[in-house]
Structure formats: structure tokens, C-alpha cells
A and B are shown apart, each in its own frame.
Chain A
Amino acid sequence: MLKALHAKQDVQLIIGLMVGVLFGFLLQKGGVTKYDVIMGQLLLTDFTVAKVMLTAIVTGKIGVHLLKSLGKAELHPKPGSFGSTVIGGLLFGIGFGILGYCPGTMAGAVGQGSLDALFGGIVGLLIGVGLFSELYPVLEKRILNKGDFGDLTFPRWFKVNHWVLIIPLAAGIIALLIWIET
């Protein structure tokens, strides 16, 4: 682990910016900052978004777990619960379907000149997260912890080495992508 580098806060902000620049460049080149491409995916007529995401997952999954095996990275799986993950996920999906951008691709859409993203989506998103911060104390007490399963990962759940899951899952995703292409 590059702990000394991780601790340098100002350098980290610059790394964050650089990773973002490359991420935004790739998203735009992939076409996934475009409303038409994202809605094509949600209408199941254009599978570009799935191809980008699934390829990223396979590559990242192998790479990050290799780094972990080498002692160069630690995992940070997000905690979840049925009350937060399922309800929040479905709400997110509904908003995603109405808007046609997600938070990251929307920042990219603004960069390519999409004014509906800049003046509509971003404004709405900021209002939405603001409303959530108001609702948070009540939601946390009543809903967010219902059916909590913590930061569980599949290898820990099934009590197997992570490679036992990564290799078949990667093979399955590649088979799925080949099937989409043909």
C-alpha cells in the first residue's frame, strides 16, 4: 500500500482530478454521456452501456483483486440493507429513466454541451440530495437499517476464496457479451 501517498491530501486532490479527466474522456468516447445512448440501453435497443459497464467490471475485478493479493490495495465494499439498497436503488432507477443520465455521465454530458443536463439534471440532482439530507434523520431511524447485511461481499458470504467467484463470473460476463454481439 502506498500509504505515504494516500496521506498527502493536496496530491490526492490532483490525482482525483486526473482520474476524473481520464474517466470523463473515456465516458464521452464510449458515447455513454449521451441521452440517446443511455435511453437506448434502458429501452433495450442499444447495449453500449452494458458493454462498457460489464467490460469495466471484468477488468477492474481482476485488476483490483490482483492488487489486493499483492498487498497494494484494500477493498472498500459499501454496506447495504434491503431498506436502503432496494428502495433507494429503485428510486434511483426511476429518476435515471426519467432523466436519461446518471450522476457521473451527467457531469460528462455537461462537458459535451448538453444543456438539459446542466440546467435540468444537475439542478434537480442537487435539490434531490439536499432533500435527502433533510429526510435522513427520519429515514435512518425508520427505513435505512431494515434488513441490514453490512459490507458483505460474495466471497465472504459463500466462504470461498475470491478467485473461485471471479473467474467463473468473468467467464459468464464474457459469454453474455459474446451473446449480445451475435
Chain B
Amino acid sequence: MEWLSLKQWSPYLVGIGIGLLSCVAFLLSDKPIGCSTAFSRTSGMIERLFRGAKVQEKAYYKKFAPSVDWEWMLVVGIFIGAFISARLSGDLRAEWVPAKWSAAFGDSAFLRWGVSVIGGIVMGIGARWAGGCTSGHGISGTLQLAVSSWLAVICFFIGGIATALFLFRVL
């Protein structure tokens, strides 16, 4: 079982695995793999803690009720699966500032934290605006040959590449 403790597998093997997993999700659960609505539901649950049941009356939470569902469990599973993988390969370590970031912008954890929050906010708005993320549109939608998903994933990478080049090459 040495392969389970390898740090990295071939990206093609991983891609085939994810493709097969998508088939399993369609077969067993009638669901495309997707991640971003789980965050909407969680945000609704947190909002409900502060504002009570009237949160459920918000138009958006009528579409995506603030409760645990299949996709929510999927996201919890991703956390567990990545933890197991990293634990088995010795890749598990608490890290504030990734190497590529510190090479370009220094090793201030505070700066990296602040920028991550801002990036997360913009990405969260964009994910729900576009109705999906890199998994829901990027993999599950494209494999269904959905026009919306191919258009979305092209826009994800245009925005992402332009922003990354600006941050790393211009600033």
C-alpha cells in the first residue's frame, strides 16, 4: 500500500479518478459534484444564529435552504479525504504563508491572511453569481456539455490568469 503514502500521484490518474467519481455521484445520488452551495447554506446557518428563523424568508435561502444536504456532506468529506491523504504522505503541516506567496510578497502572515479574506469574498460573490464553481461548473457542468458551464469555466480562468499575472508580474 505504498502508493497511498506517495506525496503526489500522476495528474492523469487523479483526473481519471475524479471523472469516475462523478459517474458514481450521478449513478448513486443523481447529483453532479459541486461545492459552492454548501458555503451558501453554511452562511445561512450562521446568519440564522444571529437573526433567527426569519433568515429562511430571504429569497436566496428559499432557493438554497440553510440546512445540511448531500453537497454539504461532500465538502466535509473533501476536508477529511485531504487530511487522510496528507497524513499518509507526511504532507500535513500547519502553514500560514505558502512558498510561492512568500517568495513574491514576503512572509507576513497578516498580509497573506488579509488578502485571503478579500479573495474569498470576491470569489464567494462570483461563485453564487455564476451559479457554480470550479467543480460544479468546471468539471460536472462541462462533462455534461452544458453551455453555461463551458462559458463559466472560460471566464473563471480569464479572470484568474489576468489577476494572478497582475499580482505576480506587475505589482
Q: Which of B28, B59, B94, B157 contacts A15 (CB 8 A)?
A: B28
Instruction: Verify A120–B91 contact, CB threshold 8 A.
Output: no
**Contacting pair B123 A27 (CB below 8 A):** no
Q: Are A77 and B148 also in contact (CB < 8 A) when A93-B156, A97-B164 are?
A: yes
Dominant secondary structure of chain B at its interface with chain A: helix
Indicate with 1 or 0, residue by residue over B59-75, a CB within 8 angstroms of chain A CB atoms: 11100000011111111
Q: Assess whether A129 is in contact with B43, with CB atoms less than 8 Å apart.
A: yes
Give Cα A117 to B135, complex, Å: 17
Q: Closest A-chain residue to B64, C-beta based?
A: A133
Please, how many residues of chain B have a CB less than 8 angstroms from a CB on the other chain? 129
Least distance between A177 CB and chain B CB atoms (Å): 8
Q: Interface residues of A, CB < 8 Å — how many? A: 125
Chain B, residue nearest A58 (CB):
B19
Q: Which residues of B contact A121 (CB under 8 A)?
A: 116-117, 119-120, 123
Minimal beta-carbon separation of A173 from chain B (angstroms):
10
Mask for A1-38, Cβ within 8 A of B = 1, else 0? 11001100000111111111111111111111111100
Please report B residues at the A interface, Cβ cutoff 8 Å. Answer: 6, 8-9, 11-12, 14-33, 35-36, 38-40, 42-44, 46-47, 58-61, 68-86, 89, 91-101, 109, 112-169
Interchain Cβ contacts under 8 Å between A and B, 14 examples: A12-B29, A21-B78, A35-B98, A51-B15, A58-B15, A81-B148, A102-B133, A103-B134, A104-B75, A110-B82, A113-B95, A124-B124, A129-B125, A133-B43
